[in-house]
Structure 1
C-alpha cells in the first residue's frame, strides 16, 4: 500500500501544480470530495483490517515471549533479557502511508462538511464590488442561507431563505461554471430591470438614490462619484463614473434568456425569467455582470456573502457588510 499511496500523492501534487500554473482549471469541491472518499477508505481499512492485523501480531509476539519465559523458568532461569516491548511498539506503530491518509481523514471530513454545508471562505480578486468589498478582502459565504445543496453537483435538497434583492451573492459564472463570481442581486424572477443612463430601474420605477461624498481610491489615488442606493430592504453604496457613456461596454449578445433583453444607446432593459437572477457590481462602471453575460440560474448559486473576516492590508475592514 505504501507505493500506491506515494503514487496517489504524486498525482495530487501534479494536479495542484498544474492548477496553480494555469495548465488546467481545478474544481476544489470535487478535489475535497475525492480526498474525503479516499482518506475514508484508508481509515476504514485501518480500523477493520490493518489495525486488527497489527494487534494480532503484537498479541502473538507477547504470547510467544510469555511461553519462552515460562519454558526458561521451568529450567530454573529467572532473569531473561528481552526486547519484546520495543518490538511490540514497532509492530503497533502506524506506517507513514496510513499516517498521511487515515490519520488525516477526520480533519479532511470536518473541512469538507464545513465548506460544503455551512461556510466557505473567498478572497475578493477584483474591484467590481467597491466600495462594499475591496480587493484583498477575505470573506465568509453562508452556504445554507438559500438552502442545503449537495456538494460537487450543487443540487438543492432543502429550501431555506429566498433570494432577496440587495443580497451579495457568490455564484458560479454562467459562462464558465468553474469560476466563482460575487455580485449584488438587483432583480429576482419576474422583475423588469433596466439600467438606463447610469440609473437603475425596477418594474418601471427608479431605485432611490442619494448622493454621498466622493469615494477616494487609495490604490489609484482617484476620486469617484458615490451614491447610496436602496435595492430591497437594505441600502448600499455604489460608484458611478459620469464621464463614461451610458451603455459603456454593453452590446446585444446571445446568452440563455437574451430574448428577454433590449439594448439601446442609453442602456439595457431585461425581464428576469423564472429561476434566474440579475446581478450587478456596486462599482457600476467597472463590473462585468448580468448586463454583459445575462442571468444567473438558481443552480449556480453558491451562497450569501456576509462577513469580512480579514484583510491583511487593512484590518479595519473586518466585520459584517450589506
Structure 2
C-alpha cells in the first residue's frame, strides 16, 4: 500500500510540475516574448525562411493580440488569442501602449484571419502612401533609393513548406542561382533597409492609400513577393492594420536553419545566430 501511495504521489508531483511549467511559459509568452518562425520569403533579405526570433511584446504595450495562440494539431488543440482575451478586443487600444515607429519590423494579427504576419511598418496614421513605378511615396515624397547589387539564393525548396523562390533572372532550374535586384531604401525618419525587386507588376503601381487614425500600413521588404497592406483583405492582402492587432516588435534573430527541419544541423546558418534586425 505504501508503494502505491508513493507512486501516486510521484505522479501527482509530476503533473503539478508540468502544469506549473506551462503556466509560467504562458505568462512569459503573454507578457514578454513570443517565439516566431519565418515561414515565407516576403521579408527577404532582412528575414529568411527558417529564421527563428522572439517578438518583443513590451515594446508597444498589450492588447487582446498579446495573448498566445496555442496550436497543437497532433492532439487537437487549437486555441486562438481571441478565445482567451477576446473580451479585450474592440476599442482599438492598448494597456501601457507605446507607439510603433516607421521602419520597425512588426508581428501583427491579420485583421480577418487572425494569422500572425511579420512586415515592416511603412505608414503611420494619417499618412498618404503610394507606389509609383516601384518607388515608395510617403506623403507625396519619394523615398531615397540606392542601388545595392544583387541578392542571390539557391533555387530550391525552402523551409518545411518547400516554397521555391521567385527570381528576376527568369525561371531557374533546381540548384541554380536565383537573383533579385537589391536597393537600400531610406525612410523619412532615417531608417535604412534593403528591399528586393523581381519585376514589374501591379503592386509597383498603386493608388494613394490614406491611413486611417488608429491604423497602420505594412509592406514586405521582398516587394514583389509580399501580400501586405497594398492588397485589400478581400484580395488576400492585409489592408490597414488596427493598433490593437499589433503583437510586438522583432529585434533579433536567435537561430536560423535553411532546411526542412531544425534538426538538420548541416543546414544551420550560424552567421545569422543572434543577428540584429535592421
Task: Work out whether the TM-score is over 0.5.
Answer: yes
Alignment match, 1:103: 17
Where structure 1 has 5 or more consecutive residues not aligned to the other structure, the ranges are 1-86, 251-265
Q: Which of 138, 141, 149 is the aligned partner of 1:213?
A: 149
Instruction: Report how far residue 110 of structure 1 moved.
Output: 1.3
Where structure 2 has 5 or more consecutive residues not aligned to the other structure, the ranges are 68-80, 156-164, 166-176, 233-238, 258-266
Higher relative contact order (CA closer than 8 Å, sequence separation 6+): 2
Deviations 1:194-249 (A, max 9, x none): 111101011111111111011112235221110111123421100012x323x24x
Instruction: Report how far residue 296 of structure 1 moved.
Output: 0.6
Q: Which of 234, 239, 246 is the aligned partner of 1:301?
A: 246
1:197 aligns with 2:162: no
Higher-Rg structure is 1
Q: Which of 180, 183, 193 is the aligned partner of 1:227?
A: 183
TM-score, reference length from structure 1: 0.63
- SS of equivalent residue, structure 1 residue 292: coil
More helix by share: 1
Deviations 1:164-201 (A, max 9, x none): 11010111112311x11111100010111111110101
1:53-92 mapped onto 2 (5 Å cutoff): 87-88=1-2, 90-92=4-6
Alignment match, 2:221: 282
Cα RMSD for the two superposed structures: 2.0
Instruction: Report how far residue 161 of structure 1 moved.
Output: 2.8
1:161 aligns with 2:116: no
Deviations 1:227-274 (A, max 9, x none): 111123421100012x323x24x8xxxxxxxxxxxxxxx323110001
**Number of residue equivalences:** 217
Alignment match, 1:270: 209
1:120 aligns with 2:57: no
TM-score, reference length from structure 2: 0.72
